[in-house]
Amino acid sequence: MIATIKRAALLLIAAGVTAYATPEADNLAQQGAHAYWNKKYDLAFKNFKKACELGNGDGCAYLGMAYEEGISVKKEREKALSYYQKACKLGSKQSCENYKKLQK
């Protein structure tokens, strides 16, 4: 399952779903990705959360995955849905699909 999440995170970052984000938010998302790949999941979560608050779709998408899979946080379906929906609105097509899938 972790391998699937890593692939999804990489795809989200590569897709650049940060259309409405500030440079600070983009930087935080990059820092979050770096922390994630170095298995510093708590730091990644912190950076992605700040990035999402500043309108970065990558950050919101990661938070959706974190809450769906229980990475650094307790699994919470409703929070996962909320973050996927926000990421979808920010342009993440994968998050739109994740949102629909989790609603079932």
Give the domain CATH number at 34. 1.25.40.10
Write out the DSSP string of 67-87: HHHTSSS---HHHHHHHHHHH
The model's confidence at residue 9, banded by pLDDT at 50, 70 and 90, is low
Identity of the amino acid at 82:
S
Structural domain of 42: 2-103
The answer to pTM > 0.75 is yes
Give the mean pLDDT of 7-30.
Answer: 67
Write out the DSSP string of 9-69: HHHHHHHT--TT--HHHHHHHHHHHHHHHTT-HHHHHHHHHHHHHTT-HHHHHHHHHHHHH
Domains held by the chain: number = 1
Coil, helix or strand at residue 104: coil
